[in-house]
Amino acid sequence: MIEIAVLGFGTVGSGVVELIDNNQEWIRRSVPEGIHVKYILDIRDFPNSPYADRVVHSIDVITEDPEVRIVCETMGGKEPAFTFSRKALENGKSVCTSNKELVEALGTELMLTAKQNGMSYLFEASVGGGIPILRPLRNSLVQEEITVIGGILNGTTNYILTKMEQEGAAFDDVLKIAQEKGYAERNPEADVEGYDCGRKIAILASLATGKKADYDEIPCEGITKIAASDFAYAKAIGRAVKLLGIARKLGDGSWSVRTAPFLVPDDHPLYPVSGVFNAVFVHGTMVDDLMFYGRGAGKNPTASAVVSDVVELAMHIGVPLRSAWNEEKLTLADSDLESHRFYIRAAAEQAEALEAAFGSGLEQIDLGGQEEDALTGTTAFVTGEISERTFAERLGSIEVQNVIRLL
Ligand code: HSE
């Protein structure tokens, strides 16, 4: 048996422990000796759990036990997850995690610590929940120059947007359901303000380029300004509202990386991706377009991705795996120079000012008679393609209700 420890017995951690128990038969096809959870670290006790006797409260019990070869960190947050992960690596245990906040902020350091100690640090579950995306990038696509990567990277917000659009549900009600279903972060601000999506696109861009994309430099917008009227206007122009994280290589070799809601056209592969599902779009210069699709959040899909790392680590005991990226910083493009078409929703009395500011390139959205009563007093336009800077300059002080970029 290969002994492992799980740090954090929350939604994902408990899923990992159960999956390893329930799917032992399938795991043994790759790891014939089997994998066994020896310890579960948590500050709480779980007297009614069948795993109660494995719960410990000190990381030292785990790091000082030579039988433990792999540590799964499913605690979330930077601390104490960072300190515990580093300690495990320094004590000869490989580590895998679902913790995107930690991977984005301190993953480079942990990969270095792993390398210095002949260990590995993996994080398949940190992006896209159950979707296998990091392993294909590390293995199947190493020969590719990737020039575009990103997509729908947050299950909670995609679930909220879908329910608002399809059922007219209220934002707060759907967020509550997403929390009950175990999709949302402990602090759901990370989901709805786009921070979680921003961390995931930073991880994907780093993995695609081999250099570290700095999350703090990535423009980030969430979904809190999206209203029912935006779905009606989007529908009238054959589009859906999706929160995307996108990274694109530009002609000068720099990368444009952004997290924001976009209006996605109905002929785009991301358009039908709804509910908790995520989809990661990849363009490689040889393989052309790829899309990876699956459940982006939730106990079992995320646990499945974590255990895929456990199995890979168990198959490579004593064989350190290559780091996902190095310490070099990825150069990001000036986001003000990026060009898009923009959707603008405003009070009807702003129409003249908007037309004067944006000129003949501005198209008013015609609702075709539908929903007009509910939207009386409101108008919406789409601009021609202009840079972020020009858009901001032309908008000036005109008061608008919402702005969304078109994909
Ligand atoms: N809160 C995250 C989401 C969990 O909704 O996508 C998975 O990373």
| CB-ligand 1 contact for 8 (6 Å cutoff) | no
| CB-ligand 1 contact for 196 (6 Å cutoff) | yes
Q: What is the CATH number of domain 144-293?
A: 3.30.360.10
Structural tokens at position 2: 């290969």
C-alpha 59 to ligand 1 mean position (Å): 26
**Cα(208)–Cα(121) distance, integer angstroms:** 17
CB-CB neighbours of 48 under 10 Å: 6
Nearest to 306 by CA among 67, 11, 109: 11
Q: Taking phi first (over 0 means left), then psi (-120 to 50 degrees means alpha), and beta for anything else, what does residue 76 get?
A: left
Pocket perturbation via mutation, ligand 1, pick of 97, 154, 179, 259 by most ligand atoms within 8 A of CB: 154
Structural tokens at position 120: 């590995």
Q: How does DSSP classify residue 280?
A: E
Angle 228-236/155-167 helices, nearest 10 degrees? Answer: 80
The pLDDT of residue 222: 98
State the closest ligand 1 atom to the C-alpha of 153, by its place in the atom list counted from 1: 6
Tell me the domain boundaries of the chain: 2-129+299-315, 144-293, 336-406
C-alpha 153 to ligand 1 mean position (Å): 8
Same fold, 2-129+299-315 and 144-293: no
Summarised one tens digit per residue, pLDDT across range 89-142 is 999 999 999 999 999 999 999 999 999 999 999 999 999 999 999 999 999 999
**CATH number, domain 2-129+299-315, options 3.30.9.10, 3.40.50.720, 2.60.220.10, 1.10.260.40:** 3.40.50.720
State the closest ligand 1 atom to the C-alpha of 191, by its place in the atom list counted from 1: 1
Q: Which fold has domain 336-406?
A: Alpha-Beta Plaits (3.30.70)
**Those residues with Cβ within 8 angstroms of residue 27's Cβ, 6 or more apart along the chain or in another chain:** 20, 34, 35, 307, 311
CA 233 to chain centre: 27
- What is the DSSP code string of 53-110? GGEES-HHHHHT-TTEEEEEE---SSTTHHHHHHHHHHTT-EEEE--HHHHHHHHHHH
| CB-ligand 1 contact for 184 (6 Å cutoff) | yes
Nearest to 240 by CA among 352, 156, 164: 164
Sign, CA torsion 152/224/180/82: positive
- List active site positions: 200
The pLDDT of residue 332: 96
The pLDDT of residue 370: 65
The pLDDT of residue 372: 61
C-alpha 346 to ligand 1 mean position (Å): 32
Nearest to 360 by CA among 386, 378, 329: 386
Q: Can you tell me which residue has the tokens 């002929």?
A: 267
Give pLDDT tens digits along the chain (407 positions). Answer: 999 999 999 999 999 999 999 999 999 999 999 999 999 999 999 999 999 999 999 999 999 999 999 999 999 999 999 999 999 999 999 999 999 999 999 999 999 999 999 999 999 999 999 999 999 999 999 999 999 999 999 999 999 999 999 999 999 999 999 999 999 998 999 999 999 999 999 999 999 999 999 999 999 999 999 999 999 999 999 999 999 999 999 999 999 999 999 999 999 999 999 999 999 999 999 999 999 999 999 999 999 999 999 999 999 999 999 999 999 999 999 999 999 999 999 999 999 999 999 998 899 999 876 666 667 899 999 999 999 999 999 999 999 999 999 99
Which residue's alpha carbon is at the smallest distance from atom 7 of ligand 1?
Answer: 297
| CB-ligand 1 contact for 185 (6 Å cutoff) | yes
